[in-house]
A = this chain, B = another copy of it.
């Protein structure tokens, strides 16, 4: 009982340290990008020495991988937690969700950018998270179509379109577009935006025909 417990406590402390470091790394990476972030400042933010960083991670790339894994898990869970039996609810939740945290959006951009340059990020964030989410969305669409709750479009295309839109909105937000007020109205709220876009996807742009 003693050894396993000590082992467990040790493992717990290691996990805590790693989380503490990854938290700091996430902040630095999100603010400065991967290239401009320095291990020195990550260590400083984690209130550790630079040397200690290397007791928990092999190198800077691993820090990015670690951050990617954290956020991959996070987004996967959030998406999985969405409960909706009609398409409108589901889309609103999908769209609203990604508009939340600034740091999250920034890291999202970072992962997209780094993925082609960094196999770990590609694997951890893109393949194990993004693609699975898209696949799951496709499967849900397939079900909705089967149940007649959705027009029989190509579910793969629809899933990608939805995902692409969410990703694109993340980028637009990040680029500051959301700050623009339109027509004197208040600047976009994520909530309103989600609803309007959902309406667009759901009802389409085609003008109502005939007596509709």
Contacts and interface: CB of A to CB of B under 8 A. Distances in A.
Contacts of A153: 196, 199-200, 205
Given A117-B33, A205-B151, A200 B109 contact: no
Contacts of A114: 33
A177 B207 contact: no
The copy count of this chain in the complex is: 4
Contacts of A166: 164, 168
A171 B177 contact: no
Interface string A178-194: 00001100000000010
Interface residues of A, number: 59
Interface of A: 32-36, 87, 106, 109-110, 112-117, 122, 126, 130-131, 134, 148-151, 153-154, 156-158, 160-161, 163-169, 171-172, 174-177, 182-183, 193, 196-197, 199-208
